[in-house]
Amino acid sequence: MTFDMQTKSHINQTLGLRQSQGYRKYMKWLVLILLVMGGVIIAVMWMRSEDSEAVVYRTQEAKRGNLIVTVTATGNLEPTDQVDVGTEVSGTVETVEVDYNDPVQVGQVLARLDLTKFHAQVLKSKAALEAAQAKVMEAEATVSEAQKELARLERVRGLSNNKVPSEHEMDRAVAALRRAQALEASSRAQVLEAQATLEFNETDLAKAVIHSPINGIVLDRNVEPGQTVAASLQAPVLFTLAEDLTRMELHVAVDEADVGHVKKGQEAVFTVDAYPDRRFPARISQVRFGSQTVSGVVTYVTVLNVDNSDLFLLPGLTATADITVKNVEDAVLVPNSALRFTPPLKENESQSDEGGIVNSLLPRRPKSWKKQRKDTTAKNTQQRVWVERDGELVAVAVTTGATDGILTEIVDGDIEPGMAVVVDIMEAGR
């Protein structure tokens, strides 16, 4: 017996049977441990999926206050009265008598052209006028001579009882008188032409001296002494004058979507880069009907009057204006995000039996959340906001009014100041 057990133990040890049995026991324990860990993980995931169904909403309080609706537009500052001064005559600039920022008065000399050519043209015109006047005197003498000759022939004809002179001689005398009268008329016309030429040349002489047409200040100067000025089809601009910089205009481009709210007399404030911390007041004086299209964007020029008594503002500065188009006082206001909020919609559980045994053994999250699509068909002011009551969302129908892009006026609806309205989903499962 002892021999058989020893022999069997020896055989088992030789064949490795004892080690195989230990390995199988080890694998059984390993599988058991993995199953237990898997069950724990599934249970934790199940609990988290249950907790994730709890949705926490972020809210803000409705409040009572004033609402200012503005339209923003950009443009440039310009003088109220700006005049470009040029010249209608060509010539060489002899002197320039003003510079940038110089104050000028009406009639003050700004520049002079070389007058030599203009004086010569005036003298030539005067000479032509005198020559024309001399021809008139000559024509008058010829007319007088022809009249006397015709009168003599008529007297002789009367004394001779119409025998002499002959009809032919009488006709010649009448024709001579008419030719003399025509020559006199032509000479007088030449006098008028010469007078017009003289006046024209005298005008050019006067225009060769450039005067200021207004009381103002020199904004720009585009001419230097010795420069040749050629006035052919268009008069060159030599100076730009501003009449009064204490009163200026701001020309802004208002978008076509906002121009319906912009009216004459509305107040505005604007800023410029030169004084970023200062806001300047302005008032709309004109909304022009003519449109401008730049890069496919349609805008309308709106003119604002600006008081520049301190002379801080300069022509050409780029300004950004906020035009107050509506001022609502003591209104119930809610954030715009509350009007845009749409509550989540629970998705029904799948009713298909796909997965069979796998779905029954591996629990999955039973419910999920998805955003409900926003109804984009509503075009009127009838909207709704959501409030949280007893853990449930309740929709409140409201009628909205003006908005400044952040807050919206509630014209009608069961919304009171201090009421918390839902604006977003803050987090889920925590």
CA separation (Å) from 97 to 16, 87, 204?
Answer: 122, 15, 20
CA separation (Å) from 408 to 69, 70, 237, 267, 424?
Answer: 10, 13, 52, 21, 17
pLDDT confidence bin for 30, thresholds 50/70/90: confident
Q: Return the DSSP state at 24.
A: H
For 7-16, 189-198, 294-303, which range has the lowest pLDDT when averaged over its residues?
7-16
pTM above 0.85, yes or no: no
Average pLDDT, the chain: 84
Average pLDDT over residues 143-160: 92
pLDDT confidence bin for 42, thresholds 50/70/90: confident
Q: Which residue has the tokens 């839902």?
A: 422
CA separation (Å) from 282 to 150, 245, 266, 315?
Answer: 85, 15, 9, 15
Instruction: Look at residues 255, 313, 254 and name the one whose alpha carbon lies nearest to residue 279.
Output: 313
For 44-53, 268-277, 386-395, which range has the lowest pLDDT when averaged over its residues?
44-53
Sheet-wide strand order for 109-113? 209-211, 109-113, 91-96, 228-229
Instruction: Look at residues 331, 344, 336, 329 and name the one whose alpha carbon lies nearest to residue 421.
Output: 336
Length of the chain: 430
Average pLDDT over residues 57-80: 92
Homologous superfamily of 70-80+244-328: Efflux pump adaptor protein, beta barrel domain (2.40.30.170)
Query: Can you tell me the distance from the alpha carbon of 296 to that of 293, in angstroms, rounded to the nearest whole number?
Result: 6
Instruction: Look at residues 216, 193, 173 and name the one whose alpha carbon lies nearest to residue 131.
Output: 193
Pick the most confident of 27-36, 170-179, 372-381. Answer: 170-179
For 314-324, the pLDDT digits (tens) are 999 999 999 99
pLDDT confidence bin for 41, thresholds 50/70/90: confident
Phi then psi dihedrals of residue 300, to 5 deg: -125, 130
* Contact between residue 323 and residue 287 where contact means Cβ atoms under 8 Å apart: no
pLDDT value for 23: 60
Q: What is the 3-state secondary structure (H, E, C) of 66-84?
A: EEEEEEEEEEEEEECCEEE
For 249-264, the pLDDT digits (tens) are 999 999 999 999 999 9
* Contact between residue 66 and residue 320 where contact means Cβ atoms under 8 Å apart: no
**DSSP labels for 390-426?**
TTEEEEEEEEEEEE-SSEEEEEEES--TT-EEEEEEE
At the top level of CATH, which class does the domain 55-65+333-428 belong to?
Answer: mainly beta
* Contact between residue 247 and residue 269 where contact means Cβ atoms under 8 Å apart: no
pLDDT value for 6: 53
Query: Can you tell me the distance from the alpha carbon of 208 to that of 120, in angstroms, rounded to the nearest whole number?
Result: 13
Query: Can you tell me the distance from the alpha carbon of 6 to that of 423, in angstroms, rounded to the nearest whole number?
Result: 85
CA separation (Å) from 30 to 17, 21, 26, 36, 38?
Answer: 20, 15, 6, 10, 12
For the record, the structure tokens of 144 come out as 């007088």
Helices marked H in 160-238: 167-207
Instruction: Look at residues 49, 67, 108, 172 and name the one whose alpha carbon lies nearest to residue 404.
Output: 67
* Contact between residue 240 and residue 85 where contact means Cβ atoms under 8 Å apart: yes
Domain 84-229 part of CATH 3.40.50: no
Domain boundaries, the chain: 2-50, 55-65+333-428, 70-80+244-328, 84-229
118: which strand partners?
A: none
Instruction: State the burial class of residue 109 (Cβ atoms within 10 Å of its Cβ: 0-12, 13-18, 19+).
Output: middle
- Give the three-class secondary structure for 147: helix
